[in-house]
Amino acid sequence: MTKTVLPLLALCLLLLSGCAVTSTSTAKVKKPQKQYVGLMTLVVSATAEISQLDSITYEQHIRGKFNNLENEKYRRHLEKTLVRNLDHPSAQTRLVKSSEVFDLNTDIGYSEFLQKVRATGVDGILFVKQGNYWYSTNYSTVHFEHVSSTTASSQPSTSYHTYLIDVNSMQPVWYANSLVEGISAGYDTLNNHLARSIFRKLRKDKYILAGY
């Protein structure tokens, strides 16, 4: 009996430890003057804080990083996840993937970047940059009838910084800092939790229409 029940208890504990915890704090840089009806995704692996998406910021931190080969798989997956979480029959905000606007592994100057963004008709840029990515190890011990069993699980966590940038001013109007942790799966689950959290906050803060 002991040999059967103990592994089951350990398995249940391991499954529980795989639950995700997502926390997102937001800042209204500018109070919403309107609700955005079109957003273009811009996913970049960078460390800089974005005060405005001017030519200097673009040249130093964005050019060649939003359509490079190295992070192409991750960017496409996150874009797909963002679209899936916003795509709803009653959704009143459309999302344009930057991967469908800009050619892969092609150098794009700032003027051409602005021209192509505005040609899509969007009024906002959803700028997402991944911050730190780390693993944490959790140890769980189960005691049953004088027998102990310890399990160790290593789970990835990551932080994200998301800016809603107005296309006319090219300045952030909204910012979110998200932490997704406690996941036994890979970035697929991390991205899903991020997308749900971001759009929930954007609706709550009245930057996009609720839709449903």
CA-closest candidate to residue 184, choices 172, 193, 171, 175: 193
CB 148 within 8 A of CB 142: yes
pLDDT confidence tier of residue 192, bands split at 50, 70 and 90: confident
Give residue 8's pLDDT. 32
**Sequence spans of domains, the chain:** 19-204
Looking at residues 134-157, what average pLDDT do you find? 69
Q: What is the pLDDT of residue 120?
A: 97
pTM of the model: 0.78
Q: Which residue has the higher pLDDT, 188 or 24?
A: 24
Q: In this predicted model, which residue has the larger pLDDT, 111 or 129?
A: 111
On the CB side of 14, CA atoms within 13 Å amount to 14
pLDDT value of residue 57: 95
Question: Mean pLDDT across the stretch 131-146?
Answer: 68
Structure tokens given for 18:
């795989």
d(CA 32, CA 112): 28
Predicted confidence (pLDDT) at residue 91 exceeds the cutoff of 70: no
Q: What is the mean pLDDT of residues 43-71?
A: 92
For residue 45, the model assigns a pLDDT of 86
CA atoms within 13 A on the CB side of 25: 3
Rounded average pLDDT over 110-119: 97
Contact call for residues 162 and 198 (beta carbons, < 8 A): yes
Give the three-state DSSP class for 180: strand
Res. 18 pLDDT band, cuts 50 70 90: very low
The more confidently predicted of residues 150 and 202 is 202
User: Whose CA is closest to 54, among 64, 46, 63?
Assistant: 63
Contact 198, 124 (CB under 8 A): no
pLDDT of 146 strictly over 80: no
> Domain 19-204 falls in which CATH fold?
Rossmann fold (3.40.50)
- The predicted structure's pLDDT at residue 108: 97
Q: Which residues fall within 8 angstroms of residue 161, CB to CB, at 6 or more apart?
A: 49, 128, 129, 131, 175, 176, 177, 178
Closest alpha carbon to 5 in 152, 13, 153: 13
